[in-house]
Amino acid sequence: MVLRILGIALAIWIVISVLGAIFKFLTTALVIGAVVFLGFAAYTAIRNRSNRSIGS
């Protein structure tokens, strides 16, 4: 009976640990993606501003 309770507690602990690792990875990926997106948007805005012709 004690081993069954310990096994269930171990399984729950493993599941929570895996979910925590996945959440940490997704958070990091989201931050990196946001930085890359904002950098590309700024680069595109600056490039389009400098490429405007005088007559437009």
Residue 40: inside a domain: yes
Q: Structural domain of residue 46, as residue ranges? A: 20-50
Residue 4: inside a domain: no
CA gap 10, 25 in Å, rounded: 23
CA gap 3, 20 in Å, rounded: 25
Query: How much is the pLDDT for 6?
Result: 97
Cα dist from 55 to 49, 50, 51, 52, whole Å: 14, 13, 12, 8
- Whether the pLDDT of residue 56 is over 60: the answer is no
Domain count, the chain: 1
| Greatest alpha-carbon span in the chain | 84
Query: How much is the pLDDT for 55?
Result: 54
For residue 18 the two structure tokens come to 């895996």
pTM attached to this predicted model: 0.64
Helix (H, G, I), strand (E, B) or coil at 54: coil
Residue 8: inside a domain: no
Over residues 6-55, the pLDDT tens digits come to 999 999 999 999 999 999 999 999 999 999 999 999 999 888 877 665 55
